[in-house]
Amino acid sequence: IVLHLNCKRILTKKNSGQTILVTGGATGLGKGMATMLSNLGAKVCIASRNVQALQDTSSEISEITKNEVFYYSMDIRDHEKV
């Protein structure tokens, strides 16, 4: 609930088209945040190391929110690949 309220404060009608990158977005809290942000009108990009999880989550969020969700396979610990 707190996350939802904070996201609503971040995304107003004026800036709901923002593009937001969610690292760790394929599972867990990242997936939840990506879903909520997409529901609030953000253009969401999710990143993770697991390509299959990214593909599945991207499709799932898009189906729920009716918004396209982009995904990128990366390991944010490797600065040269980010």
| Section 4-15 average pLDDT | 61
Task: List, as own/partner pairs, every contact residues 50-53 make where C-beta atoms lie below 8 angstroms and the sequence separation is at least 24, other chains included.
Answer: 50/26, 53/26, 53/27
Name the token pair of 16: 């709901």
80/82 Cα distance (integer angstroms): 6
Q: For residue 73, is pLDDT > 60?
A: yes
Q: Is 47 helix (H, G, I), strand (E, B) or coil?
A: strand
Structure tokens at 21: 């990158």
Residue 10 has pLDDT above 90, yes or no: no
